[in-house]
Chain A
Amino acid sequence: MLEIEDLTVEFGTVARPFRAVDTVSFGVAEGEVVGIVGESGSGKSVSSLAVMGLVDYPGRVSATRIGFAGNDLKALSNRERRHIVGKDIAMIFQEPMTSLNPCYTVGFQIMEALRIHIGGTRRSRRERTVELLAQVGIPDPGARISNFPHQLSGGMNQRVMIAMAIACNPRLLIADEPTTALDVTIQAQIMELLISLQREHGMALLLITHDLAVVAEVAQRVVIMYAGQVVETGPIPEIFQSPRHPYTAALLDALPERAKAHEPLNTIPGVVPGPFDRPQGCLLSPRCRFATDHCHATQPAFGGTPDRRVRCHTPLGHDGLPT
């Protein structure tokens, strides 16, 4: 349903551009849960903002195709795009406390989405909003509807954001680290809510996170990003059983669940390259323990089968060693 091909987002000057997102390609099928995993600054959020058309000047978006349900979002005018964005594709963000407008009631902000995309009478919108608030587990929705965001907790505000996102029954919900800013106990509740809503409505869910464990639990497929590039994509069981990219393997090794008792957790040495110290060859080469001279010199292509793609000169085999 969502097909992204060679999506690139550049910041900085034309003469010295910085690629925050570098020829990213992946897809999300109808009703599927896909996780995008990567460190901070790996381009996870920017790619999804680009899909929504929310990358602003000085950011430059280019792509061969951003297909959604038969439309090419790249080819649509802004006006046409707004009929899809917010209705068929909705998005929730990391910081629920700042993502809602402090000057309007939560009810107004949900009803606004309904007014733009669905229409109907003021009364029907209000009824639907109360219904939505109840659906996302907000107690006493009839009263909460006239609350301002600052009167609600972070978890409640994130529920409001979710209610707003699902108001028009979207076919795809993009959740950009929806639980990062919340308490640990609330995190699980919000995640459960998202998954149950996804199943109920049969909508696709694109879950952006840096938590592989969460992705393993809820997603069918995963997209691993590093320094603006997709390094590996594939179905969850396969990726977890035999990662083909050294970065994926290193991420999995760093999971506390996989650590041996009384031993320090595995870490990946070094840091993600910044705008000014990008290596010439494979972006992971300075941190990769399998890197060869070839890796340091030339960038690998994004190869493999459509179902299981990997960006590596020497993808790992089932034994965890380069082929």
Chain B
Amino acid sequence: MSAFIVRRLLLIIPTFIGVSLLAFTLIHLIPGDPIDLIAGERSVSDERRAALEIQFGLDKSLPEQYLVYMTNVLRGDLGQSIVTRTGVLGEFFARFPATIELSILAMLFAIVVGLPLGILAGVRRGSTVDHVTMGVALTGYSMPIFWWALLLIFLSSVTLGWTPVSGRISLLYFFDQVTGFMLIDALLSGQRGAFASALHHLVLPAIVLGTIPLAVIARMTRSAMIEVLSDDYIRTARAKGVSPFGVVGIHALRNALIPVVTVIGLQVGILLAGAILTETIFAWPGIGKWMVDSITRRDYPVIQGGILLIASTVILVNLTVDVLYGVINPRIRHAD
């Protein structure tokens, strides 16, 4: 198992280099000169331009610039935002908890609803439950996030008045951010109703963001379940006199979860991509909205650093999933 983890850790290095190269090149493919951007409307003298180029290292060749950038990254220096003049890393971590909080809730929603639906559809294959679940899953998967979000806002917030339209907590509450996670901070503040308000604000964005993962998880669970249920050891379990509930819950589920866990891991990337739209629509101050704002402001260091940090998050989550995979599947654990 430890050799397996070490091997997986070593694989991170080439992945990270690939992602950084991609982010770096993409930024330089975008037309426009960063100096013009920094200067804004003002005109700059040629001497000032040259000085700025040296200051930002833009006088060097691209490979050199990449090396300098990566050396700084490894030191934990992701550069400064052109707009706010604050460190990219600091800005990222100021917003990251909001996105994590939303993503965790969205994933919880997707798993708690998607997994049982998938199991049910798989066990009752061909039944009405199966057809309805798969139909809804396909609709959910095909629905554009922004459209789905607007529909839900219209229905739940505007028409029915059940949920707030945007933001993380009601303006009535004000307290210091300790962890950056609104739910935890609300609890820590000790203010009555703060936690409920924060949760209330999370419901709609979490449902919107969790819909696609939910659909994918439900479909994957269903097909894994159907495949596993036809395996020989299921027949053995039934021949042993295991109840139908035990056959599904003990013998089939554990095996069916192997592909499902992989899919859940892959959904994290989709979740972060979806967060960009969801956060923008719900005015959620997370990294998704941060990236969109930076792109409209052409804040190159932020975009580049943001991509790198988001990609690192995805890499880390996938590593965790791979380790988890070994925990569920003994054949992987003993593969060394």
A-side residues, CB < 8 A to B, are: 49, 52, 54, 78-79, 82-87, 90-91, 93, 95, 98-104, 109, 112-113, 116-117, 148, 150-151, 161, 164
Q: Is the CB of A148 within 8 A of B330?
A: yes
Q: Is the CB of A82 within 8 A of B243?
A: yes
Question: In chain B, what residue has the closest Cβ to A87?
Answer: B241
Q: How far is the CB of B325 from chain A (nearest CB, A)?
A: 12
Q: Is the CB of B241 within 8 A of A102?
A: no
Q: Is the CB of B232 within 8 A of A103?
A: no
Complex alpha-carbon distance, A116 and B233, angstroms: 17
Q: Is B237 an interface residue when CB atoms closer than 8 A count as contact?
A: yes
Known: A93-B236, A100-B233, A100-B236. A150 touches B331 (CB 8 A): yes
- 21 A-B residue pairings within 8 Å (CB atoms): A54-B235, A83-B241, A85-B238, A85-B239, A85-B241, A86-B241, A87-B241, A95-B232, A98-B231, A98-B233, A99-B235, A100-B233, A101-B254, A102-B329, A103-B254, A103-B329, A109-B236, A113-B240, A113-B241, A117-B241, A164-B236
B-side residues, CB < 8 A to A, are: 231-233, 235-244, 250-251, 254-255, 328-331, 334
Complex alpha-carbon distance, A143 and B148, angstroms: 56
Q: A86-B241, A101-B251 are in contact. List 19 more A-B contacts (CB 8 A).
A: A54-B239, A79-B243, A82-B242, A84-B241, A85-B241, A86-B242, A93-B239, A98-B232, A98-B233, A99-B232, A99-B235, A101-B254, A102-B255, A113-B241, A116-B241, A117-B241, A148-B334, A150-B334, A164-B240
Complex alpha-carbon distance, A321 and B170, angstroms: 97
Q: How far is the CB of B53 from chain A (nearest CB, A)?
A: 60
Across the A-B interface, the 7 shortest Cβ-Cβ residue pairs:
A86-B241, A98-B232, A101-B233, A86-B240, A103-B254, A82-B241, A148-B330
Residues of A within 8 A of B232 (CB): 93, 95, 98-99
Complex alpha-carbon distance, A99 and B240, angstroms: 12
Complex alpha-carbon distance, A294 and B333, angstroms: 64
Q: How far is the CB of B260 from chain A (nearest CB, A)?
A: 13
Q: How far is the CB of B314 from chain A (nearest CB, A)?
A: 28
Task: Select which of B231, B239, B250, B329 is within 8 A of A91 by beta carbon.
Answer: B239
Residues of B within 8 A of A117 (CB): 241
Complex alpha-carbon distance, A91 and B239, angstroms: 6
Q: Is the CB of A102 within 8 A of B331?
A: yes
Q: How far is the CB of A65 from chain B (nearest CB, A)?
A: 21
Query: For the complex, would chain B's binding face be called helix, strand, loop or mixed by DSSP majority?
Result: helix
Residues of B within 8 A of A52 (CB): 238-239
Residues of A within 8 A of B243 (CB): 79, 82
Question: In chain A, what residue has the closest Cβ to B235?
Answer: A54
Question: In chain A, what residue has the closest Cβ to B231?
Answer: A98
Query: For the complex, would chain A's binding face be called helix, strand, loop or mixed by DSSP majority?
Result: helix
Q: How far is the CB of A84 from chain B (nearest CB, A)?
A: 8
Complex alpha-carbon distance, A151 and B237, angstroms: 20
Complex alpha-carbon distance, A235 and B237, angstroms: 33
Question: In chain B, what residue has the closest Cβ to A161?
Answer: B236
Residues of B within 8 A of A54 (CB): 235, 238-239
Residues of B within 8 A of A103 (CB): 254-255, 328-330
Question: In chain A, what residue has the closest Cβ to B230?
Answer: A56
Question: In chain B, what residue has the closest Cβ to A52?
Answer: B239
Q: Is the CB of B241 within 8 A of A151?
A: no
Residues of B within 8 A of A151 (CB): 334
Q: How far is the CB of A72 from chain B (nearest CB, A)?
A: 18
Task: Select which of A83, A84, A95, A112 is within 8 A of B240 by beta carbon.
Answer: A112
Complex alpha-carbon distance, A100 and B231, angstroms: 10
Question: In chain B, what residue has the closest Cβ to A94?
Answer: B232
Residues of B within 8 A of A85 (CB): 238-239, 241
Complex alpha-carbon distance, A112 and B231, angstroms: 18
Question: In chain B, what residue has the closest Cβ to A102?
Answer: B331
Residues of B within 8 A of A104 (CB): 251, 254
